[in-house]
Structures are given as structure tokens and as C-alpha cells.
Homo-oligomer: A and B are copies of this chain.
Amino acid sequence: MRFGVCWYPEQWPRSTWVDDVALMADIGFELVRIGEFAWSSYQPSRNRFEWDWLDEAIDTIDNAGLSVVLCTPTATPPVWLTNERPDILSVGSDGRRRPYGSRRHTCPTSSSYRDEAARITTTLVDRYSDREAIAGWQVDNEIGNHDSARCWCDQCQTAFSDWLSNRYESIGALNAAWGTAFWSQTYPDFDSVLLPAPTMTSHNPSLELAHRQFASDQMIGFVAEQFEIIKGRSDEPTTTNFYNEDTTVDQRAAAQLGGVASMDNYPHGPSDPMVTAYLLDLTRGAAGPGGQAWVMEQQPGPINWTDTNPPVPPGQLSVWMWQVALHGYDAQLFFRWRAARHGQEMYHSGLLRQDRSQTTAVVEIRDTMRQLAVADPEKPNPRVALLHAYVDSWAIDINPHLAGLTHRSLQLGPYTAARHLGLDVSIVDPTSDLAGFEVVLAPALHLTTPERLASIARALDAGTLVIMGPRSLVINEHHAWSESPLPGGLSTRLGARVVEHLSQPSSVLVDPWGSDAGIWTDVLDTDDADVLARYSGNSYLAGSPAAVQRESLVYAGFSGGGSWLALLSDLLDLSPHPPDIETFDRVDATYTIDHRKLTVESTPTSQQLT
């Protein structure tokens, strides 16, 4: 595993560079990510370039024996450029072009911006691709963050109409697929299908789902052009880094552009170690077999962008670093080297303070890097797959039914249950090859499509245990409800049907375990399936089937984490470990992270590692 750090030389006096990079090397870092927001620093006006500082920064890194991850700067265009071509700026759902300022204020569809992004990327890559110090490229930064994939400008409107025309060919096909007879929404032509902006009440979910897919496609299309430019000029790994709390852009599609999936890991965003684990597995899954997974930004101390920004106690950084390593990552870069003296993130910690003194993170990181080098843990080789697709999360966002309910919250019960049983998990697309897995978990696999049904059928035919969770196989890819009983397309094979759902926290329990049914509860009616569990408690649902099985297909209607833990424990004959513990079972050793005590141990040697 390679370690590194994110550095912004343009923000600091050159007099500090050599010493700073020497310290990076001394800590043991190999990689230095630079240039992420540096456009105005090397192109201060249309016809003026100032490359000397960047040349020198790369030289400094190179001279210290370190390598560079060089970023394209398109997350933040310079002011002179948005002045010159204002149609680069995105338009909000209120129809107003966004004022200059902050970041990600650009339209991914804008032909002006695509021109300019290609131009600066070409110039940058042409200049530096021959440098040996370059170890990789990052395209843009956190695409989709700040809801930046969606734009309501005229070019997006035209592109959306074209996108729909390509997808549906005739407006009649769209009207039929979307059921626009509902509320008299029939469209006369594709140009009449407006980007959905706030009006009296909600829009057709078919329109909303198409819009989400379109927005993700536009953003992927935008960065794809940069990947193409780099690919023609450099063989180094190329990636675009995601902040995984964002779900508006399909990370899996982005990872396929360069073979490297990368994420920015800020455990204090979600504030739950199991969510961090899920997000790490999500990005590693997006990399796919043979792909690399990087943490391009790793939290080094308190952050600045949540409502509370809690402290980071001693030992926490080490645990976070081990967690990344044990989830199978190839690289881990800390953000950022030195806390900023200017701009929006001056309250975000760095390894150095603004006054250049070292925080305690420096020693903790160095020590942990050495521990990791000694232990050199194997990568995970999961026998459990969790099916995940962004389109499912978009659909549930559009129709949460219970305010605030998310696709992720429905996936976390099964995921956490598997991890509490010590199982490594691959998070994969439902249509990917499932042959290598013994168990497939499919909670909130919301869309039912022929490809998904075929994939599940192949797994079942191969004897794989497929365990579906609630809200699965409900709507088709146009957001039309299944015409056949739920789970749509699989109820016959299951020998059971979903006949009702509850979408709220309640007093419903699940027997034989007496566990909480959770915030979403599918109620089943069974024709020809074994009942594994029944609802109980003070509810009219008491006695109704909660989980059924026919051959190797299971459908569990509940969402509660405790119920899923009990179900998987029974089905797989495994015992859970205590809460707050995350284990990683490898051939040579089992590693155990205690997220409460902030310790890492390995067995059989029972070595206290941190």
C-alpha cells in the first residue's frame, strides 16, 4: 500500500517547499497529489501561463524521491474564464445562472466548458506527461458534490430532449413508458419534456428518474473527455475521486473510464464506522476485478464542513488507516499537508498547522505506516456480494415514502449484519458476474429488469444463496410499477408475494428472534415457500410471514439490522462478534478493529497492533 499527501504548493511560499517535501519523505510518503484547484495559478489570464512554479513544485517532489499525482483543474475555473464565457456556469432549478464563486459551479453539458476543459487538460498533460515523477492523474474533483451534476441551462434542456429521443425514439413510446395519462401529462414532442424544476407539487417519478440518469451521464461524459485526452498521452493510472455520501453520479461508470476507483474518506461525514466500511467497499467494488482502489483524500484530524466537526482523539487516525488497508486499498493520501491560511477550509486540519508546527497526526501516521508495512495484510477475497446500483438509490430518493428514508439505510442492515459475522463483502452491480460468490445479498434492489432477473436466475441455478431484502424488484427502468406480483419477476420462483408494506418505525418484531423489524417492512403472502420468520409484537401483522425461502432464494421483508443479523447468523451458521468490533479474516491472520476502544489486534499471534 502506498501512502501520500495532498499538497497545494501554490498556497505557500516557495521558501518552505524543500523542507516540507523533505518532511513528507521522512514520514514515508511516496505520493503527493497537486494541482487540484490550481488553474488560475498557472493560467492567470487567457494568454498568460505561469508554469514555473508548477515545474519547480514537481522538481521539488521529484528531487525528494517522491512521485506526483497530478490533477486536472476543472472543478474550479478561473474568474477570467467565467467572465469570458459565462455559459460555463450552471443554472439552478430557479432558472437563474449561478453566480461565480465557491466551486463546482459549472455545467457538465456546456459546450463552452467542455471546450475549455479539453484545452487546459491537453495543455497540462502535454506539458507533464513525460515527467517520470508523474505516478498518476486525477480528473476533476468530487464530481457530483454540491448537487453539481444537475443543471437547468438551455444546453442541458436540449441535451435532455436529445437524450430522451435517443432512449425512446418516439414520443409515443415515452408517453407509454412513463404513463403520462396520469395527471394529463402526455407530451406532444421531446422538446416539451422540460427539466423538472420546482412547481406546485412533485413531478412524474419517471421524469425524475430519467433526469437523474441523464445528469449522471452528463457528468460522466464530461470527465470521460479528459480521461481520453490523458489516455492518449500517458500510461499512468487515472481516476476521478468521489465523495461517497454523494450519490448523484454513478461511481461505477466513472471507475470504468480509468480502471482506478478512488474516494475521499472522511469518517466524520457519516460518523459511523460501519458506514465508512460500506463506502470503502462500495468504491473497491466500483474498481471491479483487477482494478485499483485508492483513498485519494484521508481525514487527518477535525474537518470543517459538518454541523459539529468533532475532535479526533489519539489513536483514531491509526484505526482509520488500518480500516482502509484492511478493506483492500492500494493507496491512501492524507488531505491536507498544511492547514490553509486562506479560503473556505481554514478550519480543516492538516498534518501541519497554519503556523507550520506539526500536529500529533504526523507521529501517529508515521507509526501506523510502519505497522502496516510489517503486517502487510492480504486483500479481502469476499464470498458475499451485496448488489448495489445508483439507479435504485435515485428511485428511492424520488419516492422515499417515509420522509428521509434512503436506499443506503435499507442496505446498511444486511451489510452490517454480514460484517458483524466477520464476512468480507463485495458491493457489485446486480448484472455483474456473481459466479464467485456463495451468498448474494439484495436489499432494496428496487428496479426489476430482464438483465437483473437473468443475473439472479444464473446465481440461483448455480446454487448460490440469494437473500433479497425489502423494496426489491418493484419498478422497471422507466419507474413503472411491476405488473406482476412483487418481487416483480421473481415471485413465482419464490412461491410468495409481497402484499403490503409498512414504512415507519413501529412496534413490529420478528420471530423467532424477537428483533426489531425496522423502518421498512414488506409483508409476504406465501403459496409454496418455507416461512423462516414471522412478524410478531403488538401489531395486526403478528403471524404474517416476514421471511420466506424456496430452494436457495430467500426474501426477507424486514429492514432492521438486528433481524438481518439473526437471519444471516441462522442461514450461514455463524456467530456475531460484539458491537463496535470489525474483523477481517485472512489466510494468515485475523485482524480485529475495536472502533470504540480505538485498537487493532491480529490473531493467531494476538498481537496488539495499535
> A residues near B, CB below 8 A?
8, 10-11, 37-41, 44-45, 73, 76-80, 83, 94-96, 98-105, 146-148, 178-188, 192, 194, 196-207, 302, 304, 307-311, 313-314, 339-347, 353-355, 357, 359, 399, 401-403, 475, 479-486, 497, 499-500, 502-504, 540
Contacts and interface: CB of A to CB of B under 8 A. Distances in A.
A268 to B, nearest CB: 11
A99 B152 CA distance: 12
Given A94-B94, A342-B481, A184 B41 contact: yes
Contact of A98 (B188, B199, B304): B199
B355 A483 contact: yes
A143 to B, nearest CB: 12
Contacts of A347: 399, 401
A100 B479 CA distance: 20
B311 A399 contact: no
Contact of A199 (B101, B186, B192): B101
11 contacts: A11-B179, A44-B186, A101-B185, A182-B344, A201-B344, A202-B344, A205-B344, A307-B402, A342-B479, A347-B401, A359-B499
A200 B102 contact: yes
- Most chain-B CB neighbours within 10 Å: which of A39, A179, A183, A310? A183
Contact of A38 (B98, B184, B497): B184
Contacts of A8: 181-182
B179 A343 contact: yes
A354 B484 CA distance: 8
Contacts of A475: 346
A397 to B, nearest CB: 14
A202 B102 contact: yes
A357 B199 CA distance: 34
Contact of A484 (B39, B188, B355, B483): B355
A502 B310 CA distance: 7
Contacts of A186: 40-41, 44, 78-79
Contacts of A339: 481
Closest 6 CB pairs of A and B: A179-B342, A182-B343, A40-B186, A76-B184, A307-B403, A146-B200
Contacts of A39: 184
A57 to B, nearest CB: 12
Contacts of A183: 37, 76, 102-103, 343-344
A357 B486 CA distance: 11
Given A105-B200, A355-B485, 19 more contacts: A40-B186, A73-B184, A77-B184, A79-B185, A83-B192, A102-B183, A103-B183, A148-B200, A178-B342, A179-B341, A179-B343, A180-B343, A205-B343, A205-B344, A309-B504, A353-B485, A355-B482, A357-B497, A357-B499
- Most chain-B CB neighbours within 10 Å: which of A77, A206, A354, A479? A354
Contacts of A499: 353, 357, 359
A369 to B, nearest CB: 22
A185 B44 CA distance: 10
Contacts of A79: 185-188, 192
Nearest to A99: B197
Nearest to A196: B101
A206 B99 CA distance: 17
B483 A341 contact: yes
A200 B344 CA distance: 13
A340 B540 contact: no
B200 A98 contact: yes
A156 to B, nearest CB: 14
A20 B313 CA distance: 66
Contacts of A201: 102-104, 146, 344
B482 A199 contact: no
Contact of A188 (B45, B179, B199, B304): B45
Contact of A402 (B105, B203, B308): B308
A483 B104 CA distance: 29
Nearest to A178: B342
Contacts of A98: 199-200
Contacts of A540: 311, 313-314
A17 B39 CA distance: 64
Contact of A310 (B80, B147, B504): B504
Contacts of A147: 200
Nearest to A78: B184
A579 to B, nearest CB: 19
Nearest to A349: B500
A7 to B, nearest CB: 13
A187 to B, nearest CB: 5
